Amino acid sequence: MVVILGGSLAAACAAPGSGNAQPTAAASSAPALSSAPTCGTEPVTMKGYFETGFPIAKALTDEFTKQHPNVTFDIREDQFAVITQNAPRVLADDPPDLMRLPQVSELVKNNLLKNLDEYAKVFGWDKWPPSQLQQMRMAPGGAVRGEGSLYAMGLNFSMTGVFYNKKLAAQIGMTTPPATLADLDAAMAKAKEAGLAPIAQFNGGATGGLAFPLQDLMASYGPAAPINDWIFQKPGATIDTPTNLQATQHLEKWIKAGYFWKDVNAVDYATMMSRFMKGDGLFMFNGDWESGNLDKQMPGDVGFFLMPPVQAGGKQAAMSAPLTFGVGANAKNADCAATFLDWVATDTQARTIGVQIGGSHPMGPADAPMPPIAPGTVTESTLAAGAKIAEDNGSMDFIANATGAIYAKSWTPNLQKLVGGEQTPEGLLKSVQADYVSQVKGG
């Protein structure tokens, strides 16, 4: 007993973390490649760690195996929240070849992800529209995101905006999507008068869905670039700006006017979707990952538009993020993983799967072929919106992704308090900024 106790205490006396194997600099910096790697001809088993509920990754790996019979996939799936919590440990102890990634900053800081720069060079990823890869770049040391080396790759990239119920829109005489923020306000007011719920949104539990309309309003009132700077942790960036305050005040106006459900603070994402599909709610701030679902559940009844600007014809912006996958720093089959990621963006069949199953725009060169899409569907309008965002350079990451904990611990409680009348717009931005500063410093 004394021996056991002594042994365990001795083990406990070393500083925690120092015993972990740290991948060497050589392992995490990219090896120089002269030609594009392949998966070879020998049997390869790729270890994958994917997100439950998103069939696109599985569909793509199945198709890849069909085209490259020597490659098979050994896939483990978890909920995104579980992946977020386990990512560092999984990457350190048992690095997958291909893994769905949460926010990458902390993983890069700890040298857990493979640097993909050399693959980008030989495959020509660096010739794609730069905005596609921007969110997955990290400066050396993992301090600032949005620039530097590439540490992840997307299977496709999503687009957010406003969905609307066409039947309810007809009831209030709305025939075209609102062109300005004032038009949107007017439509909401009309809906409220007609006894309809103007906005379907979630804001319960640890996921404050009012961050969607808030960030859309921020992009209506001000430019998108400073919001990205804040999300990417550029030194000196702040969320507490005059235009963001106008946006938050506008959101508060919607809350006070009763445009959200009375119980919005107790509504989770799934409840929002089921209510919207039952016809409860004219507008819904959400993303194109639901396009396919809405096309199936309410065919022909749902429209989509990008958040309208304050001035007619003004620049538009939207939260748009790649469905990020990365390669473990010590992964066994990194070359094959990179080959797969390139194939996803360039193979015609893979791009079709990306649109039809993923519902979002595929990665890849701007002139790459697009699969045929049925006209009049939501998918068609969300993909078209992507072109407008590219033209306006209005692609933003999500304000919830600024740090690992900013969503659950700062945006969500503050937005819930704003709904409950326990927080002011000024206080909300100041409180989030204070949490951000302490998290960036601490992390």
Partner 1 sequence: MKAAVKRRSGSRWAGWLFVLPAAAFYVVFVIQPLAMTVQYSLYSWDGIGVATWNGVQNYLRVFTDPDLFAAILNAIKLIAFFSAVPVVLGLAIAATIRRIAASRLALVARTVIFLPQVIPLVAAGITWSWLLSSTGLVNQLLSYIGLEGITRAWLGDFSTALPAVGVIGAWVLLGLCTLLLLAGMSKIDPALYEAARLDGAGPLREFVSITLPSLRQEIGVCVTVTVVAALASFDIVYISTQGGPGNASMVPGLEIYYLAFSEREVGLASALAVVLTVLVIACALPIQWLTRDRSS
**Using rule CB under 8 A, residue 88 touches partner 1:** yes
Cα distance between residue 143 and residue 235, in whole Å: 9
Out of 218, 255, 264, 338, point to the residue binding partner 1 (CB under 8 A). 264
In 146-210, which ranges are continuous DSSP H helix? 166-171, 181-193
Q: Does 204 bind partner 1 (CB under 8 A)?
A: yes
Task: Please identify which residue in 65, 84, 293, 356 interacts with partner 1, judged by CB under 8 A.
Answer: 84
Q: Return the residues of window 381-440 that contact partner 1 according to CB under 8 A.
A: 404-405, 408-409, 412-414, 416-417, 419-420, 422-423, 439
Binding span for partner 1 by CB under 8 A among 7-15, 234-242, 308-316, 318-326 = 7-15
- Residue 109 binds partner 1 (CB under 8 A): yes
355-365 burial code (b ≥16 CB/10 A, e <16): bebbbbbbbbe
How many chain residues are in contact with partner 1, going by CB under 8 A? 50
Minimum CB separation from partner 1 for residue 353, in Å?
32
- Under the binding rule (CB under 8 A), the answer on residue 279 touching partner 1 is no
Position among 258, 299, 369, 443 found at the interface with partner 1 (CB under 8 A): 443
Residue 15 binding partner 1, by CB under 8 A:
yes
Which residue in 280, 287, 138, 273 sits closest to 211, CA to CA? 287
Q: Residues near 385 by Cβ (< 8 Å), separated by ≥ 6? A: 159, 161, 288, 304, 305, 306, 318
Quick check: 43 binds partner 1 (CB under 8 A)?
Answer: no
In the complex, minimum distance from the CB of residue 257 to partner 1, in angstroms, rounded to a whole number = 19
Smallest distance, partner 1 to C-beta of residue 274, A:
12
From the list 148, 306, 154, 279, the residue with the least C-alpha distance to 224 is: 306
Beta bridge partners of 100: 325
Q: Which stretch binds partner 1 (CB under 8 A): 147-155, 198-206, 328-336, 377-385?
A: 198-206
Task: Tell me the angle at which helices 242-256 and 412-419 cross, rounded to the nearest 10 degrees.
Answer: 50
Amino acid at 204: G
Closest CB 136 distance from partner 1, rounded Å: 20
Burial class (CB in 10 A: 0-12, 13-18, 19+), 282: buried
CB atoms within 10 A of CB 77: 16
Q: Which is nearer to partner 1, 86 or 243 (CB)?
A: 86
Q: Where are the alpha helices (DSSP H) in 393-424?
A: 406, 412-419
**331 interacts with partner 1 by CB under 8 A:** no
Span from 51-59, 255-263, 300-308, 392-400 in contact with partner 1 (CB under 8 A)? 255-263
Distance CA 322, CA 278 (A): 30
The stretch among 16-24, 144-152, 283-291, 364-372 that binds partner 1 (CB under 8 A) is 16-24
**Residue 47, strand partner residues:** 74
Measured from the CB atom, the residue of 29 and 207 that comes closer to partner 1 is: 207
- DSSP class of 424: -
Work out how close the CB of 316 gets to partner 1 at its nearest, in angstroms, rounded to a whole number.
31
Is the CB of 106 or the CB of 183 nearer to partner 1?
A: 106
- Angstrom distance (rounded) from CA 188 to CA 194: 10
Rounded to whole angstroms, the Cα distance separating 365 from 367 reads: 5
Phi, psi of 74 (to 5 degrees): -110, 105
Asked if 34 touches partner 1 (CB under 8 A), the answer is no
Rule CB under 8 A: say whether 249 interacts with partner 1.
Answer: no
Q: Please state, in angstroms and rounded to a whole number, the distance separating the CA atoms of residues 58 and 48.
A: 10
Q: Give the binding site for partner 1 (CB under 8 A).
A: 1, 4-5, 8-9, 11-13, 15-18, 20, 22, 84-85, 88-89, 92, 106, 109-110, 112, 203-206, 261-267, 404-405, 408-409, 412-414, 416-417, 419-420, 422-423, 439, 442-443
